[in-house]
């Protein structure tokens, strides 16, 4: 329940601090006194977006703080899911800075507006004329029926399964779309893949082929140069090996005289060994070197194939071509196996549909079973509210389509008069009748679910006399199990409250301010008397006010 509210620098409110009790609280005040300002400030606590127009003094920040006793609300799971710090006495604070930025805090920890809105929905239900219009929406009507049918857990299971079902349907459609496109590309992809497979790609092969091509294509020049090298190494008179052999013999004779000569001998001998080795290798290369026009043609053809493939696929080397080949293999294989994947996905969807049908059938049966009880209770309450001939015709038809809340189509029809035709609520009920129907629904709901603090904003619009008295009785009855606020202009309702608050305007230093005060018993008599007879209270109005309060 809401235990206190503090507002600073908001609209026409300079500073306001008020404490609330449980039970039935009344808020009254003249038209334009600022009741909407009070609701606006409370809406900010519940996560409504704010702007600079909210600031009374645009050079100072606006601060709105509310304290709630949530010990009986079972909100620990929500606090954990939103990463809020849970306290039985929870404090929510909104700050609007002169810069226009807004901040929100739950128990002094910063939170975002989405999380605050989720929490706010579980703390206060502000009933306004706008919400009365919601009564005519199919979604709200289902919420009423499901609350009475205790369908919450079943609906949660249904929504989880429905989410999985929609995901599978989306995946199936993606497979079908891909198949349609893939079939068009399959032949072309297969052709490209066959080209790459026939090329017999080997990573690093290109460099070897290019080297072999250069050798075969320049074999005569290579032979000529190898022959020159062979002669230079081993010509009898001026060959390198012959010269090194003579030089070796010379230093061998000197090596006995000094280590310096011995070192030179060793170095020449080492060079001679290398030259012998080079000579032998050149000899082998000459023997191996042989013109092969056929092999040259094969190598040239393979290189042309590789170069063409690299150009076609915009690849820099064979390694990239191999990667492209692997990708094409996956595409071709995936396309060829799509039928199996599609069939498997359809079987998964069929299984999910069976599960969804089971759950939605359970939801339907619970809804159908509760309708007579809901109809009877609503008609009884409306009878006491001056609508003795009010009748509801509520029908639920099990359909074929999976909706967000089951497979049901709901027909929620109403007739206000005996013998009248049943019609949709928005066509069959006036504004005053809709307000009474909404009050009846809230009264019924309060017996089945733990409603949060509820605030009725002029739900008594369009009614008077004994009807307003009955509406006050219903709200008073609701306040036995929850905290109820009623913003009202009717003295019959105002007199039933356990607590009474008055919203008023006053001029302070030529500045108009809105304030809220709790009235004592004598002040309540005056306020109710003025509601009955105007500012100039008659003795009969005062007597009537006392009678209402007693």
In angstroms, rounded to a whole number, what is the distance separating the alpha carbons of residues 306 and 92? 72
In angstroms, rounded to a whole number, what is the distance separating the alpha carbons of residues 70 and 450? 12
In angstroms, rounded to a whole number, what is the distance separating the alpha carbons of residues 549 and 128? 26
Q: How high is the pLDDT of residue 93?
A: 96
- Both tokens of 44, joined, read 């900010």
Which segments within 87-230 are labelled E, that is strand?
89-96, 102-106, 109-111, 124-127
Average pLDDT of the chain? 87
Burial of residue 198 (number of CB atoms within 10 Å: 0-12, 13-18, 19+):
exposed
Rounded (10°) angle between helices 431-448 and 138-149: 30
Q: How high is the pLDDT of residue 238?
A: 65
Burial of residue 152 (number of CB atoms within 10 Å: 0-12, 13-18, 19+):
exposed
Q: How high is the pLDDT of residue 131?
A: 65
Cβ atoms 154, 362 nearer than 8 A: yes
Q: How high is the pLDDT of residue 86?
A: 93
- Both tokens of 100, joined, read 């226009």
In angstroms, rounded to a whole number, what is the distance separating the alpha carbons of residues 327 and 161? 35
Q: How high is the pLDDT of residue 245?
A: 78
The tens digit of pLDDT for each residue in 411-449 reads 999 998 887 889 988 888 877 788 888 899 989 988 887
Residue with tokens 């049918």: 149
Q: How many CB atoms lie within 10 A of CB 259?
A: 8
In angstroms, rounded to a whole number, what is the distance separating the alpha carbons of residues 288 and 183? 53
Cβ atoms 89, 67 nearer than 8 A: yes
Rounded (10°) angle between helices 431-448 and 465-478: 20
**Cα torsion angle, 215, 219, 224, 229, sign:** positive
CATH architecture of 1-123+452-519: 3-Layer(aba) Sandwich (3.40)
Helical H segments across 25-151, by residue range = 35-45, 76-81, 113-121, 129-134, 138-149
In angstroms, rounded to a whole number, what is the distance separating the alpha carbons of residues 507 and 520? 23
Per DSSP bridges, beta strands 89-96 and 102-106 are antiparallel
Q: How high is the pLDDT of residue 133?
A: 66
- In the chain, where are the structural domains located? 1-123+452-519, 205-316
Query: What CA–CA distances, in Å, run from 424 to 375, 386, 413?
Result: 15, 20, 5
Q: How high is the pLDDT of residue 236?
A: 64
Contacting residues for 341 by C-beta, under 8 A, at least 6 apart:
175
Residues of the chain with pLDDT under 70: 129-133, 236-238
Q: How high is the pLDDT of residue 237?
A: 63
pTM for the full model? 0.67
Burial of residue 529 (number of CB atoms within 10 Å: 0-12, 13-18, 19+):
buried
């Amino acid at each position: 329940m809401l235990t206190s509210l503090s507002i600073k620098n908001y609209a026409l409110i300079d500073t306001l601090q008020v404490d609330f009790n449980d039970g039935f609280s009344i808020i009254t005040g003249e038209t334009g006194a600022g009741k909407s300002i009070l609701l606006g400030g409370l809406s900010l606590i519940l996560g409504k977006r704010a702007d600079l127009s909210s600031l009374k003094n645009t050079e100072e920040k606006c601060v709105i703080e509310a304290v709630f006793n949530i010990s009986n609300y079972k909100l620990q799971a929500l606090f954990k899911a939103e990463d809020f710090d849970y306290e039985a006495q929870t404090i929510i604070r909104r700050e609007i800075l002169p810069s226009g930025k807004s901040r929100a805090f739950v128990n002094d920890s910063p939170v975002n507006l989405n999380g605050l809105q989720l929490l706010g929905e579980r703390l206060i239900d502000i009933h306004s004329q706008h919400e009365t219009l919601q009564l005519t929406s199919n979604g709200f009507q289902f919420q009423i029926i499901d609350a009475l049918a205790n369908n919450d857990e079943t609906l949660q299971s249904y929504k989880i399964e429905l989410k999985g079902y929609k995901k599978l349907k989306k995946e199936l459609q993606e497979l079908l779309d891909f198949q349609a496109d893939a079939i068009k590309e399959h032949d072309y992809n297969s052709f490209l893949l066959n080209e790459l497979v026939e090329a017999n790609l080997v990573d690093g092969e290109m460099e070897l082929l290019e080297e072999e091509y250069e050798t075969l294509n320049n074999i005569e020049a290579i032979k000529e140069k190898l022959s020159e090298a062979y002669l230079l190494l081993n010509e009898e008179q001026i060959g390198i090996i012959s010269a090194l052999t003579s030089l070796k013999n010379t230093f061998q004779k000197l090596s006995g005289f000094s280590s310096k000569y011995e070192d030179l001998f060793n170095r020449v001998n080492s060079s001679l060994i290398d030259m012998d080795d080079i000579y032998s290798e050149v000899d082998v290369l000459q023997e191996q070197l042989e013109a092969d026009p056929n092999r040259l043609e094969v190598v040239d053809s393979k290189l042309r194939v590789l170069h063409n493939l690299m150009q076609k696929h915009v690849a820099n080397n064979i390694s990239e071509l191999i990667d492209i080949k692997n990708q094409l293999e996956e595409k071709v294989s995936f396309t060829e196996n799509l039928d199996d994947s599609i069939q498997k996905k359809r079987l998964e969807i069929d299984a999910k549909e069976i599960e969804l049908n089971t759950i939605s059938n359970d939801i339907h049966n619970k809804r159908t079973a509760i309708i007579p009880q809901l109809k009877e209770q609503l008609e009884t309450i409306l009878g006491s509210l001056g609508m003795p001939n009010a009748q509801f015709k509520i029908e639920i038809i099990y359909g074929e389509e999976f909706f967000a809340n089951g497979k049901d189509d709901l027909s929620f029809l109403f007739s206000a008069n005996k013998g009248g035709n049943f019609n949709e609520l928005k066509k069959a009920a006036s504004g005053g009748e809709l307000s009474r129907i909404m009050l009846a629904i809230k009264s019924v709901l309060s017996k089945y679910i733990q409603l949060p603090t509820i605030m009725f904003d002029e739900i008594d619009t369009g009614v008077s006399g004994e009807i307003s008295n009955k509406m006050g009785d219903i709200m008073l009855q609701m306040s036995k199990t929850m905290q109820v606020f009623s913003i009202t202009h009717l003295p019959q309702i105002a007199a039933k409250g356990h607590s009474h608050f008055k919203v008023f305007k006053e001029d302070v230093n030529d500045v108009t301010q809105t304030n809220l005060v709790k009235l004592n018993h004598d002040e309540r008599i005056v306020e109710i008397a003025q509601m009955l007879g105007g500012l100039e209270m008659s003795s009969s109005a005062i007597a009537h006010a006392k009678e209402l309060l007693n």
